[in-house]
Structure 1
């Protein structure tokens, strides 16, 4: 099951430190590199905004947006990650759901839906994007980030491996959806998003892998 794989991944993650490089207790990272790249400002005015994090993990980004005045909820498929988030940030609204199940059941709208190396990468966009678009308020934004495609020419659903720590344990696999920036932009436009941008953020000096950042809006 996907939840088992994400529990393996989550259990191996150390979680965020108490502060970042400039001493802040909460902060926002779109990239896999600490204190690198853009921050939450690309989401727009967060004061009072209704925000949804798809695949919130242990809650670090979600906690930062709440500290900035957002009314935010996070969903994650991993019980391990949800437990970590609730223990570290007990004031957060973190729920054990898949992204699609939550969106399908939700009745409220959101000004912001986002995903950082989360469900936007690991859910078939053909099923996810219509649900995101339906739950966005007019003028709302959808933003997500993940690694660029690992191999040129290998696009669409790919396999990601999670290796349990137990000696001899069989690896677990989840699907991810890899596309070049131009392809992601076209996929979002096909599903009704406007003002779409897609770019690769260059990595820090000495690192090889950048971060793909995609943003779209719902017409107001």
Structure 2
């Protein structure tokens, strides 16, 4: 499968996350492309006892942090090597499971429901939203939150592009307003989309979108 091979190539070039962040924590959630920058998991509310699904969980570092806060967490990634790395690093944590699957297939066949669905620079950016967003909505608890982030589209960029690093993966570069319309069409409400400013010395912010089922 071409997409699997593309994401495997991408994964091979990724540097593993540090063992400890700037605050000395061994687990943490990072919404942006910059280390130690941006909001934390508190924007999701209390996670104790909630069910969380992360689409495109990679090596599981963000999801592992949420499991330490009492959430029951499931991670899905298309690249088999990411699954192996996630299990090797975080498999000892309770309430945390990982799967290898294409996200539309997984969301279609899983039963749910999920209280929180995350995609941090993940499949919401790389899957046709008119197909994926309604599937996610069907698997969410009433009032559950969908939160995702990615780089905002550059001025003049077409909504659909190609991920250079992955070679052959389509990317949906939508603006905040475009995501708002797509989410509303899929049945979400309470939609909030904003640009997180970059740290000093950087020019590209991060688009963070939240919506409720």
Q: TM-score range by the shorter chain?
A: over 0.9
- The reply to whether residue 131 of structure 1 matches residue 132 of structure 2 is no
Show the counterpart of 1:7: 8
Structure 2 residue runs of 5 or longer lacking an equivalent are: none
- The reply to whether residue 147 of structure 1 matches residue 151 of structure 2 is yes
Quote the Cα distance in structure 1 between the aligned partners of 2:81 and 2:110. 23
Quote the Cα distance in structure 1 between the aligned partners of 2:86 and 2:12. 12
Quote the Cα distance in structure 2 between the aligned partners of 1:148 and 1:81. 25
How much is the aligned-residue C-alpha RMSD, in angstroms?
Answer: 1.0
Residue 98 of structure 1, aligned match among 98, 102, 112: 102
Show the counterpart of 1:70: 71
Show the counterpart of 2:159: 156
Equivalent residues, number: 209
Q: Tell me the TM-score normalised to structure 2 length.
A: 0.95
Show the counterpart of 2:117: 113
CA 155–44 in structure 1, closer or farther in 2 if over 3 Å, else same: farther
Show the counterpart of 1:166: none
- The reply to whether residue 29 of structure 1 matches residue 30 of structure 2 is yes
Q: Deviations over 1:43-71 (max 9, x none)?
A: 12100100000000011001000011100
Quote the Cα distance in structure 2 between the aligned partners of 1:162 and 1:212. 20
3-state SS in 1 of match to 2:67: helix
State the shift of 1:153 in Å: 2.8
